[in-house]
Amino acid sequence: MNISIIGTGHVGLVTGACFAEVGNQVICVDNDEKKIATLKKGKMPIYEPHLEELVKKNVDEERLFFSTLIEEGVSKSSVIFIAVGTPPKENGEADLSSVEKVCSQIARNMKNYKLVVEKSTVPVQTGQWIKRLFNLHDSHRDFDIASNPEFLREGSAIHDFLNPDRIVIGVENEKAANILKELYSPIIKRSFDSSLKSSLVNHIPLLITDLQSAELIKHASNSFLAAKISFINAVADICERVGADVEKVAQGMGYDPRIGPAFLKAGVGFGGFCFPKDLQAFIQIAGKFNYDFCLLKEVEKINKDRPRRLVEKIKEALWVLKDKTIGILGLAFKPDTDDMRFAPSIEVINLLQKEKAKLKVYDPVAMDKAKMILEDVEYGKDPYQVADASNALVIVTEWNEFRDLDLAKIKGLLANPIIVDGRNIFDPVKMKKLGFIYKAMGR
């Protein structure tokens, strides 16, 4: 199939590369000339494991192309995915101006039937707005709108795209459903093939719904996962007050298949460009339809308080923070990404700077991005340099590299043997034995 993807952010680029990988002709379009030039040179604008190889392979095999011109994407493809950003406005609502702009450009350039698919995370009823916009244009009117939310996670995006746990397609007629079913059939088939090898039949559910339901599935899924995290973080606070261990509580809860173990990791809270903004956008769109989503407001409130809770622990260990040097390990909002958007580290650093602490920081891949955001911090070349002469070491992102640290060496380097662990990566008993003052979240 000939497809185009408008927007080469995390979702757009991964979607384009993966659809090319399964045999389609794909044009990835972005109005950011610098980004397209970078991609044409084979360089990735984001850090995502295996993305560079996949892009290179599909460019070399002439299935994947890059362009700055929407008209090129529209004229050369029958299916057009919209994967532009939907950042939050000041009031938390999703800013749909890029979606609208791109749709107008598509509408202006349509000369024959097109299936226009929303891949960006959008509030419910965006599909209806897009349809209205297309109908306002005098151009070709033979089109369908579909919603095909994406559930990939940064850091394992390629794997998630090619091995999805479900495919959701929101459509208004069978023609649109059949096009998308055909487009996804190699992915569904591949999963059958690979699972048959290990004699496990792993069926990928393909759910076909109306447009509104598909749109809601995305917001509801992300908000539910965020709610799980805030729930366990609230339990973590109670654990601290009563002398329980949140890791054990989560483990005990997770064995119940109705609860499941995932997303029950207590810590400094969730960040990134999905959960915080989707939660806000869901609260806003619910409010627009006269539903006060108090439950999600509380989820957000608990999460916003997590960096303060971590800083409180640093204060409990060090008392006055003014002029103390604090080493921060991990800046990205989670491991295996360089994404700093809404990263909890930003607020932790902000709160520590308000207390006039001096900061040394390190992240295995996010430091270049961090340099564009953080001020007055010293960057270490590795965790040991950050620990050297610091009064405390704080774990903010759980990179594997930190789990494998030589803790005896770290202890020798620190001015005070204090580790405040915002992600519960170490065993408290072992840390005590090693002679650390070790503070974790909910243990």
> Tokens in use for 437?
């003052």
Q: Is 84 in the site for ligand UGA (CB under 6 A)?
A: no
Is residue 176 at the binding interface for ligand UGA, with CB under 6 A as the rule?
no
From the list 386, 388, 384, 315, the residue with the least C-alpha distance to 355 is 315
**Is residue 206 a contact partner of residue 188, using CB atoms and an 8 Å limit?**
yes
As measured in angstroms, the least distance from the Cβ of 112 to ligand UGA is 32
- Tell which positions 189-248 bind ligand UGA, by CB under 6 A: 222, 225, 229
To the nearest whole angstrom, how small is the minimum distance from the Cβ of residue 156 to ligand UGA? 8
Piece in contact with ligand UGA (CB under 6 A), picked from 14-22, 52-60, 265-273, 426-434: 265-273
Q: Note whether 163 binds ligand UGA by CB under 6 A.
A: no
**Minimal distance in Å, beta carbon 301 to ligand UGA?**
15
Please state, as a whole number, how many other Cβ atoms lie within 10 Å of the Cβ of residue 196: 11
Residue 274 a catalytic site member: yes
- Find the shortest distance in angstroms from Cβ 213 to ligand UGA: 17
Residue 153's CB is within 10 A of a number of other CB atoms, namely: 14
Q: Which residues of 339-365 are buried (b: 16+ CB within 10 A; e: fewer)?
A: bbbbbbbbbbbebbbebebbbbbbbbb
Number of residues that bind ligand UGA (CB under 6 A): 21
Per 3-state DSSP, what percentage of the chain is helix, strand, and coil (rounded to 5)?
Answer: 45, 15, 40
Question: Using CB under 6 A, which of the segments 131-139, 266-274, 309-317, 318-326 binds ligand UGA?
Answer: 266-274
Least CB distance from residue 155 to ligand UGA, whole Å? 6
| Interaction between residue 96 and ligand UGA (CB under 6 A) | no
9 binds ligand UGA (CB under 6 A): no
What is the CA 25 to chain-centroid distance, rounded?
27
If one asks whether residue 425 binds ligand UGA (CB under 6 A), the answer comes out as: no
Q: Which residues are paired to 438 by β-bridges?
A: 419
Give backbone dihedrals phi and psi of 430, rounded to 5 degrees, phi first: -65, -40
Q: Is 313 a residue that touches ligand UGA (CB under 6 A)?
A: no
Site for ligand UGA in 100-129 (CB under 6 A): 121
CB of 169 to ligand UGA, least distance (A): 16
- Asked if 270 and 226 count as a contact pair (C-beta separation under 8 A), the reply is yes
Options 131-139, 234-242, 271-279, 307-315: segment touching ligand UGA (CB under 6 A)? 271-279
Q: Which long-range contacts (CB under 8 A, 24 or more apart) does 134-139 make?
A: 134/103, 134/106, 134/107, 136/107, 137/104, 137/107, 137/108, 139/107, 139/108, 139/109, 139/110, 139/111
Given candidates 63, 265, 309, 411, which one binds ligand UGA under the rule CB under 6 A?
A: 265
Residue 43 C-beta: closest distance to ligand UGA, Å:
22
Rounded to an integer, what distance in angstroms lies between the CA atom of residue 426 and that of residue 439?
10
The token pair that represents 174 in the structure block: 């069978």
* d(C-alpha 438, C-alpha 198), whole Å: 43
Task: Tell the burial category of 61 from Cβ atoms under 10 Å away from its Cβ (0-12, 13-18, 19+).
Answer: exposed
Enumerate residues 273-312 that contact ligand UGA by CB under 6 A. Answer: 274-275
* Residue 435 DSSP code: T
Find residue 28's DSSP bridge partners. 5, 66
The one catalytic residue in 18, 239, 274, 294 is 274
Q: Tell me whether residue 264 or residue 386 sits nearer to ligand UGA (CB atom).
A: 264
Q: Which is nearer to ligand UGA, 171 or 274 (CB)?
A: 274
Q: Quote the DSSP letter at residue 248.
A: H
Of residues 128-157, which lie at the interface with ligand UGA (CB under 6 A)? 150-154
Which residues, numbered 322-351, are part of the site for ligand UGA (CB under 6 A)? 333-334
Query: Using the rule CB under 6 A, is 30 a contact of ligand UGA?
Result: no
**Nearest approach, Cβ of 349 to ligand UGA (angstroms)?**
16
* Of the residues 27, 116, 264, 279, which one makes contact with ligand UGA according to CB under 6 A: 264
Q: Does 379 bind ligand UGA (CB under 6 A)?
A: no
Closest to 233 in 3D by CA, of 293, 305, 294: 305
* Catalytic residue positions, numbered: 274
> Which positions touch ligand UGA (CB under 6 A)?
121, 150-154, 222, 225, 229, 263-265, 267, 269-272, 274-275, 333-334
